[in-house]
Structure 1
Amino acid sequence: MQSDERAIREFHSTWIDAVNAGDPARLLVMATDDVLFLNPGLSTLGRDGFSAHFAAAHVQVRISCVSKLEEVVIVGEVAYTRSRDTLTASPRTSGEESRLAGDRMTIYRKQPDGRWLLARDANVLSPVVQP
């Protein structure tokens, strides 16, 4: 495995750890200044919108995300990953736990210092229907 692919795989794992820890500051350090997040049912979120939305969600629920990296493609200074995610949101007070699952595509840009940063992220997670 080449070093850029290894770096992106490690990045992916670190990103999911920060999501599960509810740490928007750590996530934003890992993102480009012009980062955009595309989520079903929401307007496109930039840095500020993502941070506010993420922080508000973590006040209400405990999020646990499991993400299986399916594909890593690197073309020069740009890369993308495709993953299969399962997200569980457990209310911090009362209410029912909810589960979402689906695919996510993330685009990364390599920085002049060699680091990869998340530039775009789109998911098609939808509710998991229990039989």
Structure 2
Amino acid sequence: MPTRFPHVASTALLALCLVGPAAFAGSPVPQVAAAHRAYADAIAATDLPAFLAAVTDDVVLTGPGTTLTGKSEVAVWAAEVFATIDARWQKTPLETVVAAPWAFERYAYRVEMTPVTGGVSATETGHGVNIYRLGADGGWRVARDIWTAGPPARAAFRPSCAEGLAPC
């Protein structure tokens, strides 16, 4: 009678190759998700110490019209933003890929901003990429946050047949 062991072993080996060892040996994705929550919660709470604890010393933030390099430069900017704008953030991870000691996260965001002195609220939506780095202490932190405001490019640019940019 034929044995099933070779089939079971080959199926397990195929699964390991397809999904990677992280799925079987304590995936770091939950830790990266926790780092995302800590970062996003600190921003939402305008908690400067928690925000700075969630980023690396060499953090780079790049958004529309600005690039901030290093924790000290980011701290000055964040302190000013947190003191002048009441913001309601929703930062939703769309995809996370881990290649330790790095992790890459694509996200979408929505923020409603009101000056703390009162006034008209503004809503902004956009998308971005967070790059996390695993620290010597075993914690994941944001090393890069790169974002752009507005809808994703495919939604903003819809070629039309009338303009000769798409088949009719």
Normalised by the length of structure 1, the TM-score is 0.88
RMSD: 1.7
| Equivalent residue, structure 1, for 2:138 | 114
Note if contact 2:108-2:126 (Cα within 8 Å) is conserved in structure 1: yes
Q: Structure 2 unaligned segments of length 5 or more: list them.
A: 1-22, 152-168
Which structure is larger by alpha-carbon Rg, 1 or 2? 2
1:95 aligns with 2:119: yes
Larger strand fraction of residues: 1
1:54 aligns with 2:78: yes
1:79 aligns with 2:100: no
Larger helix fraction of residues: 2
1:4 aligns with 2:28: yes
State the alpha-carbon separation in 1 of the partners of residues 59 and 121 from structure 2.
30
Number of equivalences: 127
State the alpha-carbon separation in 2 of the partners of residues 74 and 46 from structure 1.
23
1:95 counterpart SS class: coil
